[in-house]
Structure 1
Amino acid sequence: MDRKKFAQIKPLSQNLQYFAELDSTNVTAKEFAEKGAAEGTVIQAGKQLSGKGRLGRVWESQAGKGLWFSMILRPTVAAEYGAQITLLTAVAVARILQLLTNKNFAIKWPNDILLDGKKICGILSEMALDVEGDIDYTIVGIGININMSSEDFGAQLAATATSLYLATGIEYEREQVLRAFLDEFGRLYSHWQLHGFDDIRRSWLQYSCTLGHKVVVKDNDEEIYSGVAEDMDDYGSLLVRNAAGEIGSFDFGEISIRSC
């Protein structure tokens, strides 16, 4: 990893901007970033009207029931390593939720956190480059289901989604979860910029529920590859071995993989 600017790395500011209601925290975070907002600025919404997940999917963001926020980052690494931020974020989320609940969480490549096979958190990262091709900023949007009941999800989502409340019977203070995450993320983020991806990659592999499973790779709902997920490379791409023994490398910005 290119760490030529490591001397400029500073702790995240954790400048929190709270809004009772937004269309999307990622959209608002982009607006702040374009105006020069400092790294570590966090845009939090009590409710999102048009929350989005990966590949344009709708993300349910009910008022008072979960954490809906986006971080503005300005990492001092080469753009080719920017995709690692999503994986780093997933490790941070899995760690703090495990500490808070004493439950075992899993990461479904690349951006979902699961508990007992159900989704409890989604991550959406978007990167902007400057005219020289370096990272100008990265927006990392995170949605964590905190106090939803089964009725909040409805029949369609109840089979595939869960919350901390449903898992433990405890109602959690959202700000407690947010602060725990920001502390853990800040530590991992600084370590990543200074020392590279190796330690975080090892942690990610320990949480993974994707490796070792048969997966189907889709592009625009069309199956383009299938096989067993064997590893994740140093750039964050998933390595899949097909029936012919060939290894395919897939970037999560372009494909959808069903597993776990």
Structure 2
Amino acid sequence: MSLDKTVPSAAAAVADIPSGASIAVGGFGLAGIPWFLIEALLDQGADDLTVASNNCGVDGAGLGLLLERGRISRVIASYVGENKEFARQYLAGELTVELTPQGTLAERLRAGGSGIGAFYTPTGVGTLVAEGGLPWRYHPDGTVALASPPKEVRTFHGREMVLEESIVTDVALVRAAVADRAGNCVFHASARNFNPAAAMAGRLTIVEAERVVEVGEIGPDEVHLPGVFVQRVVALTPEQAARKDIEKRTTRGERPAGAQEES
């Protein structure tokens, strides 16, 4: 018996995401982000969203589009990155931001998908991450409106560790290089990044795939994300699949003919 999880479009895939939903989003910077699911959600109109993602896109692209329209009220991320609007909203008191160490964020998502309620890690011990006081939200005058609470610290094997709660979200949006109709996914190179962890954290996980194949075409040892974590698959067109922007393009100028490389 075959289970076909494909849906006809990104719009259909996100149509029932309500305002106030929490959403885990894959990607790192702009690498491996679910471009078309994000844009479909923008068109759909849901707001007051809580987003758990490594960062919040850039100005004018990715999650930055939702941010610019005021659709996001809270972000759980590891850094502000290249997004000036993200920084502006945070400092102006318009956005709640729970900054989390990058590895801790990845593990919080993975743990949520694994049914683990919380875990201990040495990352953040002796800092505001553990002791509390990180500004989560500012007043418009720049004073702190909401700060992080202190976390439990215990000693294991002679080393202090801080307790971090896992993350489970209502929805997860991810992008895969290849997916079969049952939702088994393969990610390409660095685009794998946060995608498997984000997918695991969502109660409803939606994948946009650059290529969709029949069940059995992906070898068992090639699967990066089992289909058990996926509920909907959207097949991208070849033109959509080719869209892979980056934050900054940095190139080296051509060397004059006959010039030697410096040792």
The two structures have a TM-score, normalised by structure 2, of 0.22
Q: Which has the higher contact order (CA 8 A, sep 6+)?
A: 2
The two structures have a TM-score, normalised by structure 1, of 0.22
Compare CA radii of gyration and give the structure with the larger one: 2
